[in-house]
Amino acid sequence: MPAGGIVKCTASNDFQLNTSKGVIDISGKLLWEDDYCESFIGETYNNKNCLSCSLLPCCMGPCPQKVNHSNDENFCKLNHPDYNLSERICDYIDSKYKN
């Protein structure tokens, strides 16, 4: 990674491949390549699968990074081995009932 290089997510392939999607300028401002950040804006759950799923309130749709790298417009994180539904539901319940 070049000095001052930045990535949007440390879990992304960009980080693992040692490639940067932008730089930090001398004043500390983040300068992203092209419209890179635009691809992370929006509701990743705004698709047929998610909107018809009873688990949407717990899950809130897939990670934007995974959606961007998938060719499936109805990408579902429940179909991938790196997502643990039981842990996610417990986290959701904890967040709602924590004092």
- The predicted-structure confidence for 15-71, as pLDDT tens digits, reads as follows 555 677 788 888 988 888 777 777 677 788 888 888 898 888 877 888 777 777 777
Residue with token string 């980080």:
15
pLDDT computed for residue 72 by the predictor = 74
CA separation for the pair 84, 64 (Å, rounded)? 17
CA separation for the pair 46, 52 (Å, rounded)? 10
The domain ranges of the chain are 5-97
**pTM assigned to the model:** 0.54
What does the block give as tokens for 9?
């997510």
Q: What is the mean pLDDT of residues 5-18?
A: 63
pLDDT computed for residue 46 by the predictor = 83
